[in-house]
Amino acid sequence: MSRRILLVDDEPTILLGLTHVLRRAGAHVTPCLGRDEAEEAIRTGVFDLALLDVRLSGSEGRAGLDLLALLKERSPRTHVIVMTAYGSEEIRREAMARGAAHYCDKPLNLEVLLGLVRDLPQLSSCQ
């Protein structure tokens, strides 16, 4: 798996842990600790896939959804998985309406997440 992945979370332990897992799986990961780093990465990078946390400290409660909109505006072909520990049906619907390919509740099931990371770009290229 040589996917270019944007990973955004405001919890350093989650960011480091997921970065490690994804890199061991062969992905090229750009980890961003919060909204400001993510906005800069979105402006300057090209990604196959993004993993976005919905709630980011130091910003509104749904900053990850705003990042989703920005990412889809700049890079419509980037697949996005939204993740949150504070999920609701409303947030799930909003994420999907804004272009998320998948929605995951935290704590994450790493096996399922790695399957999504591996399969999402291939599935949509067949459509």
Q: Comparing C-alpha atoms, which of 25, 62, 86 is closest to residue 70? A: 62
- The full set of domain ranges for the chain reads 4-116
- Most distant pair of Cα atoms in the chain: their distance: 39
pTM of the model: 0.90
Q: Please give the chain's pLDDT, 127 residues, in tens.
A: 678 999 999 999 999 999 999 999 999 999 999 999 999 999 999 999 999 999 987 666 788 999 999 999 999 999 999 999 887 899 999 999 999 999 999 999 999 999 998 887 664 433 3
* 121 preceded by a cis bond (ω within 30 of 0): no
**61-89: b or e for each residue (b if 16 or more CB lie within 10 Å)?**
ebbbbbbbeebbeebeebbbbbbbeebee
Please write down the long-range contacts of 15-24, taking CB distance under 8 Å and 24 or more positions apart: 18/51, 18/108, 21/110, 21/114, 22/114, 22/117
| Superfamily (CATH) of domain 4-116 | Response regulator (3.40.50.2300)
Q: Comparing C-alpha atoms, which of 54, 61, 68, 60 is closest to residue 97? A: 68
